[in-house]
Amino acid sequence: MTIRKSSSYLALMSLLLVPALASASETSGLSPANTAWMLTATVLVLFMTIPGLALFYGGLVRTKNVLSILMQCFAITCMVSIVWVLFGYSLAFYDGGAHNAWLGGMGKALMAGIGVDTLKGDIPETVFAMFQMTFAIITPALVVGGFAERMKFSATMLFSLLWLLLVYLPVCHWVWGDGWLQQRGMMDFAGGTVVHVNAGVAALVAALVLGKRKGFPDTAMPPHNLTMTVIGACMLWVGWFGFNAGSALAANGTAGMTMLVTHIGAAAGSLTWMFCEWVRYGKPSVLGIVTGMVAGLGTITPASGFVGPLGALAIGVSAGLVCFFSTNYMKRALHVDDSLDVFPVHGVGGIIGTTLTGVFAVKALGGVGLAAGVTMGGQVMTQLTGVLATAVWSGAVSFVVLKSIDAAIGLRVTVEQETEGLDTVLHNETGYNL
């Protein structure tokens, strides 16, 4: 009797296991561990834009413009998501074996050929495409900080769309899609050029084309809600682990080291900025320490998968120091109204981090090492080539796009509308009912 029961039990278990075994054989190249990590990392990077960046930027503007910033971040997230699925992913990452140096093809438009079992390495290609989508979302959202409080919503959406198509997608392909910079051996682990230099230069050009806000620099324009800004900054810090460590595309030692050096870069950038401000102005500010954090994170981003703790510490300190003085110089000496300091924090940080990657990636300084036959000097020149190419392309195309939009529909709200505030004028709402 016992033998019969045991036999029946085994037969039942065998039947239950058949579908699982068949499913496993269909996706034999899939790594569940890597897939789980990449799903988590994707959520973290999306979390950086909404709500992280939206709250960070929203707290920095004046009360009358808080909803306009939240609206821009949210609307850009939605628009980029649709464009990415239609053809953005394909243009950035599909080459069809042709190894096009400048732009991908349309072979994966509308996610053609990508199904449940389609893999990118050992993770589902759907997850890879979604992960990269979150980078495409946050980059034009960062640019918003350069022209905050004075651009029409219609112009913002049109600029973000054209900038994504003409600037982000080509540069993304150059660096990560087997384009000419990747072929030259450029090292950009998670977006020093693709995200930070790209967005920083575009924000600077936008600030210059639109001109200063009414009253700048004579009228004080302090953040209206630093509590909101700090909450957003904390979300950015946590989300950045997905941004950088997720770029390893695996749950492995590289992802672990990337997470560690990312945290070191953020902490070093925060403290350096805080002490610079303390020495120069007599008091450390909350705005200063969280801005230093963003500078440290942006600067360590390109180097994060290539350097060790020593490199991260040096890069973080460099970020806090250089970005602090860049921000003060632009606002106080040059009177450039980059509203939320996108260029001096992200642009300058991206330049520093991308360049120093070529230095601290060498094994003698704790890095992963350079390619065979490549010297530190040679790698630094390659890094600088990538920085220069990205800056020139982003700057030139952004200028042309902005001028074209200005001629077509106008970029800027009127002086009266700017005085009243974009929340009421453009969205017929107010952020607070006090």
Is residue 356 pLDDT above 60, yes or no? Answer: yes
402 pLDDT tier (thresholds 50, 70, 90) = very high
Is residue 143 pLDDT above 60, yes or no? Answer: yes
Is residue 250 pLDDT above 70, yes or no? Answer: yes
Q: Residue 136: exposed, middle, or buried by beta-carbon count in 10 A (0-12, 13-18, 19+)?
A: buried
Exposure of 321 in the CB half-sphere (CA atoms within 13 A):
8
Is residue 42 pLDDT above 80, yes or no? Answer: yes
Is residue 19 pLDDT above 90, yes or no? Answer: no
Over residues 118-146, the mean pLDDT reads: 97
Query: Would you state the pLDDT for residue 95?
Result: 82
414/393 Cα distance (integer angstroms): 30
Contact residues for 404 (Cβ-Cβ < 8 A; gap 6+)? none
Is residue 7 pLDDT above 50, yes or no? Answer: no
Tokens of 285: 């500010």
Q: Mind listing the pLDDT tens digit for each residue in 302-339?
A: 999 999 999 999 999 999 999 999 999 999 899 999 99
Over residues 92-107, the mean pLDDT reads: 88
Query: Would you state the pLDDT for residue 428?
Result: 96
176/131 Cα distance (integer angstroms): 13
Nearest to 300 by CA among 241, 250, 340, 344: 241
Is residue 21 pLDDT above 80, yes or no? Answer: no
255 pLDDT tier (thresholds 50, 70, 90) = very high
96 pLDDT tier (thresholds 50, 70, 90) = confident
Is residue 18 pLDDT above 60, yes or no? Answer: no
pLDDT, mean over the chain: 93
Over residues 359-377, the mean pLDDT reads: 96
List alpha helices for 246-375, DSSP H.
Answer: 253-281, 286-300, 309-328, 342, 348-360
φ/ψ of residue 151, rounded to 5 = -100, 145
369 Rama class: left (phi>0) / alpha (psi -120 to 50) / beta: left
Q: Mind listing the pLDDT tens digit for each residue in 378-393?
A: 999 999 999 999 999 9
105/90 Cα distance (integer angstroms): 6
Higher pLDDT, residue 308 or 95: 308
421/193 Cα distance (integer angstroms): 34
Query: Would you state the pLDDT for residue 98?
Result: 74
Over residues 105-119, the mean pLDDT reads: 96
Is residue 14 pLDDT above 50, yes or no? Answer: no
Instruction: Note the residue count of the chain.
Output: 434
- Measured from the Cβ of residue 88, the count of other Cβ atoms closer than 10 Å reads 24
Angle at Cα 274 formed by Cα 240 and Cα 148, nearest 5°? 60
133 pLDDT tier (thresholds 50, 70, 90) = very high
381/390 Cα distance (integer angstroms): 14
Is residue 434 pLDDT above 90, yes or no? Answer: no
Query: Would you state the pLDDT for residue 4?
Result: 45
C-alpha distances in angstroms, 154 versus 49, 352, 357, 411?
20, 34, 39, 8
Over residues 31-52, the mean pLDDT reads: 98
- Pairing relation of β-strands 123-124 and 119-120? antiparallel
97 pLDDT tier (thresholds 50, 70, 90) = confident
Query: Would you state the pLDDT for residue 3?
Result: 41
- Domains detected in the chain: 29-427 (1.10.3430.10)
23-32, 197-206, 282-291, 321-330: range with lowest mean pLDDT: 23-32
Percent of the residues in the chain that have a pLDDT greater than 90, as a whole number: 91
Is residue 217 pLDDT above 80, yes or no? Answer: yes
Over residues 277-286, the mean pLDDT reads: 97
8 pLDDT tier (thresholds 50, 70, 90) = very low
Contact residues for 221 (Cβ-Cβ < 8 A; gap 6+)? 62, 213, 215
Q: Are 240 and 294 in contact (CB under 8 A)?
A: no
25 pLDDT tier (thresholds 50, 70, 90) = very low
139 pLDDT tier (thresholds 50, 70, 90) = very high
198/280 Cα distance (integer angstroms): 30
24 pLDDT tier (thresholds 50, 70, 90) = very low
Is residue 26 pLDDT above 50, yes or no? Answer: no
